[in-house]
Structure 1
Amino acid sequence: MEIAFLAFFAVGYFVLAGADLGIGMLLPYLGRSGEERGRVLASITPFFLSNEVWLVAAAGVLAGAFPILEGELLGGLYVPFVTLLLGWVSRDAGIWLRGRVERAAWRAGCDGAVVGGSWTVVLSWGFVLAGTGREGVTALGAAIVVPAVVALFCAHGLALAALRLYGGPRERARRFAGASGERTIYALTSGGMALACLLAGSRLPLAENLADPATLALLTPSLLVITPVLVASQGWLWWAFGRVRIR
């Protein structure tokens, strides 16, 4: 059951937060002016923190149910994980602080933090996903996986931007959807996110590294309580804020 919980939280993070990161990566393309970039970021502001909670939940399951494997992953992929955290902080700080000062230079600096942080997080995830096997990160694996992960995050972000925005930013995002439409592209990229996450997870020796039964007896009931609350809160956020396009 703990493997299913880990997969559920990890897939939830990649599907939900992956679009936020894709929008952050493409912020200069989607928003050609400071006002447009503000609207682009407003499309993800209600959700980006709650989307990150899914990663926190996945990390908690990994640490609680697979403590030895967690140590091996952090040790073997120390640099990508530290780089990911630095990018995460930079991206979130840029979003939070952008509106605090009414100066173009300040906002441009925050936009740069969002873009740089988003690219740093996604590139780091590419190396992490490439290194989940027993052989770790190989040059060939990174050369294949990292560009594929970058392309997937960008496509996912464009699909969400087309769904959430009006005007010029929406038209730029829709150029890559073609006749398929943004809803179809978002569904396809969500499936791609889930597949990439599950393929990486399938390379981990999860079953062999489960914690002892006493630990699992405490962890499982907690997860059974937390999971519906997380899903319900996420659903409420999208019901309250996700139905309105940002003008």
Structure 2
Amino acid sequence: MEIIAVAILGFFTLGYLLLGGADVGVGMVLPFLGRTDRERRLVVTAIAPFFLGNEVWLVAVIGILAGAFPELEAILLHGLYPAFSVLLVGWVVRDMGLWLRGRVDRRGWRLSWDAATVTGSWLVALSWGVVLGEILAGDVGRPGAAWAAVAGAAGAALLFASHGLAFAALRLTGTPHRRARGAAGRIGDVRTLAVTSAVIMVVVLAAGVRLDPTGAAADPDSLSFLVPAILVVTPFLMAAQAWSWYLFRHRVTEPVYL
């Protein structure tokens, strides 16, 4: 049962970083892709149908970690409390920016919330970089882990931004599409996204091996209750996600959301 619980935790963590990492990356490069208000609305439209659904995966990761791996949760939250605090702030600021930018029809208002979207996206990406960097270095919570935090933050910024550019190249049209494709590389939109996705998968798997969560799993009775329930709910979550992606599979041509 422990192996299944570990696989479920890895699956949802990977799902969030692949899906959520794309819209976070788009938020990071919003000023580059959108030079005018209309272009920025077009870029926001590209991620608008997905970002809340993608965040469900992160909520699931937190729930699984708390229920099935309480010892691991305590270690991570204690050792990486500053990084997770910044991540939470960035998450809230980014979502506020996306939700509020279109509530008032004034240029200054929209620019302010666009700035919030960009700032929040960078905070989320950098925070994840610190978390993953310290995990990979085996220095969670240690005073000498500053080098791992800095290296992880820099690597995550580059990876998330590249992942977002590749996703934007698949979703956008017109000038923003040309900017995204030119920055992401000309090996092809799908191939570029496949490369960034592969790198994220390698990082997540390496972090999982480094953490070795099997030794921090809950007692067998708790796992026997939690794991079957998660396995029942997961197909419905995946079906809803797939349906959302199918409905909004076409490239964005008009700024119609937020």
TM-score by length of 2: 0.93
Matches within 5 A, 1:89-168: 89-132=92-135, 134-136=138-140, 138-168=145-175
Given the alignment, which residue of 226, 251, 255 partners 1:219?
Answer: 226
Q: 5+ unaligned residues in a row in structure 2: which ranges?
A: none
Instruction: Name which of 224, 229, 248 aligns with 1:241.
Output: 248
Q: CA deviation at 1:134?
A: 4.0
Give the stretch that moved more between structures: 200-209 or 1-10: 200-209
CA distance in 1: counterparts of 2:165 and 2:121, whole angstroms = 14
Show structure 1 runs of 5+ residues with no match: none
Q: List, as ranges, runs of 4+ consecutive aligned residues in structure 1 with deviation greater than 4 Å.
A: none
- In structure 1, the partner of 2:39 is 36
2:54 matched residue in structure 1: 51
Does the 8 A contact of 1:129 with 1:200 survive in 2? yes
CA RMSD of aligned residues (A): 1.2
Between the two proteins, the alignment pairs up a number of residues equal to 247
Task: Provide TM-score, normalisation by structure 1.
Answer: 0.97
Check conservation: 1:43, 1:246, Cα contact below 8 A: no
Give the counterpart letter for 1:240 in structure 2.
L
Q: State the alpha-carbon separation in 1 of the partners of residues 250 and 11 from structure 2.
A: 24
Distance 1:166 1:82 in 2: 36
Identity level (%): 50
Structure 1 letter corresponding to 2:165? L
Q: Distance in 1 between matches of 2:89 and 2:9?
A: 23
1:205 paired with 2:208, answer no
Matched, 1:71 2:62: no
After TM superposition, give the deviation of residue 39 of structure 1 in Å.
0.6
Is 2:173–2:251's contact at 8 Å kept on the other side of the alignment? no
